[in-house]
Amino acid sequence: MAQTPRPTHPLSIDEAWAFTAANAAATTFFFDFDGVLSPVTDDPDASQPAPAVPGVLERLAEVVQRVAIVSARPVSFLRSRFSSLERVDLYGLYGLEVWHEGEVVTEPAALPWVPAMADLAERAKAELPAPVLVEYKRLSVALHYRTAPQEALAVERWAHEQAESVGLRTQAGRMVVELKPPVDQDKGMVITEGVRDAGCAWYFGDDMSDIKAFDALRAREAVDPSFFGVAVAVANPETGAEVSSAADLTLESPEAVVQFLTAGLTRF
């Protein structure tokens, strides 16, 4: 590690970038997708990264040890949006799927749940009010009520009933409830493993599930005085206040994330 002193929290942007540039060879950047690299859309299938995102991630991957996207989306979806990226790892479904060096690896403990999730998706479409959008992801089912906020309680009630009867777990998010297999895997666990050999790591998130990733950075700092973690929240009107309160820095939008990274890259 370089001799640059580890900044203390709360920190300044200048301090964070100075330490990162001095320790680039041991630094990892992690990004959520929706709300961080892409604006949130009413139709999840319509989401696309902000125009400058692929280019800035590729440039970042050239100067730091590792860049990764950690998302609730399947790896297949992430690959369809980032097919041009050669150096960026993809964690799908909260880490149940991983795309690394041209190969997809699926958590074996989750695979037996594929039929149950398919059945759940069909029942959700039949039993929930029509405005609720059911997103089937092979190893999870997301119930979006963004276009029908009045159905929030009905969606949450149905999801919790299914979780109890089938033995699933729920994850609340921005106008969505997700049902997942009862497998110990979340963004915090992805980051805990991902920073094991890192000297510095950044995580950019906007939703409740990202707070676990922020916590993983804090936990690593607590046991390793040389490690430096930066938690960045992307503001939004739904979960922004709670996520921002858990972060070191707050940015206003995916476009602001691009501008922030572009400015930071001039330090390397």
pTM of the prediction? 0.92
Instruction: Judge whether residue 2 has pLDDT over 60.
Output: no
Cβ-based neighbours of 14, under 8 Å, separated by 6 or more: none
Place of tokens 């100075």: 18
And the tokens for 240? 């922004």
% the chain with pLDDT above 90:
85
Q: How large is the average pLDDT for residues 211-215?
A: 96
3-class DSSP assignment, residue 116: helix
Instruction: Judge whether residue 204 has pLDDT over 50.
Output: yes
Instruction: Judge whether residue 198 has pLDDT over 60.
Output: yes
Q: What is the pLDDT of residues 139-176, one digit of tens each?
A: 999 999 999 999 999 999 999 999 999 999 999 999 99
Query: What residue ranges define each of the domains in the chain, with the CATH number in brackets?
Result: 13-107+185-265 (3.40.50.1000), 110-180 (3.30.70.1020)
Cβ-based neighbours of 267, under 8 Å, separated by 6 or more: 17, 18, 20, 21
Q: What is the mean pLDDT of the chain?
A: 94
Predicted local distance difference test score (pLDDT) of residue 19: 95
Supply the residues annotated as catalytic: 32
By C-alpha distance, which of 189, 213, 219, 201 is closest to 64? 201
For residue 249, name the pLDDT band (cuts at 50, 70, 90). Answer: very high
Predicted local distance difference test score (pLDDT) of residue 9: 85
* In contact, 163 and 179? CB cutoff 8 Å: yes
- Neighbour count for residue 232 (Cβ, 10 Å): 25
Predicted local distance difference test score (pLDDT) of residue 1: 43
And the tokens for 76? 């297949």
3-class DSSP assignment, residue 146: coil
